[in-house]
Amino acid sequence: MAARIVSPVASERMPLAIGIDLGGTQLRAALITPQGDILSRTAVATAATAGPAAVLDQICAVVEKVCAGVDKGRISGIGVSAPGPLDSKQGIALSIPTLAGFVDYPLGQALRARLSCPVVLENDGIAAALGEWQFGAGRGVENMVYVTVSTGIGGGVVVDNRILRGRRGMAAHVGHMSFIAEGALCVCGNRGCFEAYGSGPAFVARAQRQAFASTSTSLGQNGAVIDSPAVFAAAKAGDALAMALVAEEAAILGTGFTSLLHLFSPDVLVMGGGLAHEFDMLYPGIQSVIQKSAMPAFRDVRIKRAALNDNSGLIGAAGLVFAA
């Protein structure tokens, strides 16, 4: 089920929530119904280096924009999805590597003061997992692992019909489990994390390195940029190096996903994030690893693509408002 944009006119008494997705690159906002439908939506480039005060101003501006023409009394609250680790119980951004100044910053409290309405803060992976569980690819299951594969690797986990939060709401940092102990340096400072191997930038870095060393690939020819879409396009066109790179990425994801099956025992594992746009190309390689590596009792777990595309987090964050 993809998110629909429906007319606000159709439902004038329905309570509404605002979902905010505070990313290092984009700040996005949407006005959302209890059914997970998007009434209006906007996005701006995040003022990532300008500090919390400037970002707060931006959030207030996008909130104003998506609420234009809507009776404020219908707004039940604001749900904010932000990169972790953050203490979702206290509403504190503990450390957002991609946003300057967001260290032990009481984002929830600051927003409540500015916007005079209930604010809930959630780790972006957990918010997106909630969106997919309530309205997307994980609808109706008791156990779900959501993994977003993008600039980083994040996620959220539902076990026994409950979203996992853990101490300070910091559970499910699935990108920072060991993939190769003492291996490649990760942005978190540790070595060998799943994210350091499986993320979009890691995929692109391998592609650039191998394309430079290759004389037979079409990748990077005539100075063309080698990014993730370029590699997938070349693989579709039959470029041998690009196909091998896609197979390698799929194998990495399959290995990481196998760990997650063993750790959380989901009914379904949902993959979102930028690389999920090419889910169909990655899926056979992911499944091949799982069928070989997972313990037999875990091999029939379904692996699915996120259904809400880039809106999982927005919709999940808004859903938290209705659940509160």
Nearer to a copy of itself, 205 or 263 (CB): 263
Strands of 119-123's sheet, edge to edge?
A: 38-45, 26-32, 16-22, 75-82, 119-123
180 binds a copy of itself, rule: CB under 8 A: yes
List, in sequence order, every residue forming a beta bridge with 289; answer none if it has no partner. none
Rg, Å, the chain Cα set? 20
Q: From the CB of 141, what's the least distance to a copy of itself, in Å?
A: 9
Task: List the one residue from 69, 73, 140, 189 that touches a copy of itself (CB under 8 A).
Answer: 189
Strands of 86-87's sheet, edge to edge?
A: 86-87, 92-95, 103-105
Q: From the CB of 10, what's the least distance to a copy of itself, in Å?
A: 37
153 binds a copy of itself, rule: CB under 8 A: no
Is residue 309 within a helix (H) or strand (E), and if so which, with residue range?
A: none
Nearer to a copy of itself, 117 or 170 (CB): 170
The pair of structure tokens assigned to 120 is: 């809930």
Can you spell out the DSSP letters for 37-58? -EEEEEEEE--TTS-HHHHHHH
Nearer to a copy of itself, 9 or 181 (CB): 181
Q: From the CB of 165, what's the least distance to a copy of itself, in Å?
A: 6
Q: From the CB of 99, what's the least distance to a copy of itself, in Å?
A: 16
197 binds a copy of itself, rule: CB under 8 A: yes
Task: List the one residue from 177, 243, 244, 247 that touches a copy of itself (CB under 8 A).
Answer: 177
Residues 253-282 that bind a copy of itself (CB under 8 A): 255-256, 258-259, 262-267
Report how many residues bind a copy of itself under the rule CB under 8 A. 54
Residues 89-118 that bind a copy of itself (CB under 8 A): 94-95
Nearer to a copy of itself, 54 or 141 (CB): 141
Angle at alpha carbon of residue 27, lines to 206 and 162, rounded to 5°: 80
Residue 120 is classified by DSSP as: E
Asked if residues 52 and 46 have their Cβ atoms less than 8 Å apart, the reply is no
324 binds a copy of itself, rule: CB under 8 A: no
Task: List the one residue from 171, 226, 308, 320 that touches a copy of itself (CB under 8 A).
Answer: 171
Distance between CA atoms of residues 262 and 322, nearest Å: 32
List, in sequence order, every residue forming a beta bridge with 121; answer none if it has no partner. 80
Residues 282-321 that bind a copy of itself (CB under 8 A): 292-298, 301
Asked if residues 25 and 48 have their Cβ atoms less than 8 Å apart, the reply is yes
Contacts of 206 (CB under 8 A, 6+ apart): 245, 248, 249
- How far from chain centre, in Å, is Cα 5? 21
Task: List the one residue from 85, 91, 152, 220 that touches a copy of itself (CB under 8 A).
Answer: 85
Task: List the one residue from 173, 235, 310, 321 that touches a copy of itself (CB under 8 A).
Answer: 173
Q: Which stretch binds a copy of itself (CB under 8 A): 8-16, 62-70, 156-164, 236-244?
A: 156-164
Query: Which amino acid does the sequence have at 62?
Result: V
73 binds a copy of itself, rule: CB under 8 A: no
Query: Which amino acid does the sequence have at 309?
Result: N
Q: From the CB of 101, what's the least distance to a copy of itself, in Å?
A: 16
Q: Which residue has the tokens 């994030």?
A: 273
Q: From the CB of 144, what's the least distance to a copy of itself, in Å?
A: 10
List, in sequence order, every residue forming a beta bridge with 82; answer none if it has no partner. 123
Residues that bind a copy of itself (CB under 8 A): 85, 87, 94-95, 142-143, 159-160, 162, 164-174, 176-183, 188-192, 194, 197, 252, 255-256, 258-259, 262-267, 292-298, 301
